[in-house]
């Protein structure tokens, strides 16, 4: 896995001994992140829910990372200011990257 883009002073990135390719080879599948973009109410979440269903039905590991759902936990401390929205996207991106690195298709509406 590549190092995160945001660096925290005093924090050191500790890579594991298993490469992304080795991890993916156990399932013969690669991970990915699919970002769904569009105006509010345009159907991003509805499409992502259906894509997740289709991927899982096809035997793929997939997970829907809905921003509203993440605000109940990981992003529960964030509001809706421009700064908080930016941080919300950054955190969702980090989680999606971890999922993809593990061989899961992360769906982000």
All structural domains of the chain with their residue ranges? 28-108
Closest CA to 6 of 102, 94, 100: 94
Q: What is the pLDDT of residues 52-91, one digit of tens each?
A: 999 999 999 999 999 888 999 999 999 999 999 999 999 9
| HSE of 71, CA atoms in CB hemisphere, 13 A | 11
Phi, psi of 64 (to 5 degrees): -85, 120
**Whose CA is closest to 107, among 23, 32, 41?**
32
- Asked whether the predicted pLDDT for residue 16 surpasses 60, the reply is yes
Beta-bridge partners for 52: none
Q: Tell me the CATH number for domain 28-108.
A: 3.40.50.300
Residue 11 has pLDDT above 90, yes or no: no
Tokens 């769904």 belong to 36
């Amino acid at each position: 896995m590549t190092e995160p883009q945001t660096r925290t002073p005093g924090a050191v990135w500790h890579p594991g001994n298993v490469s992304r390719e080795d991890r993916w080879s156990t399932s013969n599948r690669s991970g990915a992140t699919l970002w769904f973009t569009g105006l509010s109410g345009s159907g991003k979440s509805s499409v992502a829910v259906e894509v997740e269903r289709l991927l899982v039905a096809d035997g793929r590991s997939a997970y829907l990372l809905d921003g509203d759902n993440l605000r109940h936990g990981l992003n529960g401390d964030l509001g809706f200011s421009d700064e908080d929205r930016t941080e919300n996207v950054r955190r969702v991106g980090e989680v999606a990257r971890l999922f993809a690195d593990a061989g899961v298709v992360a769906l982000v509406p």
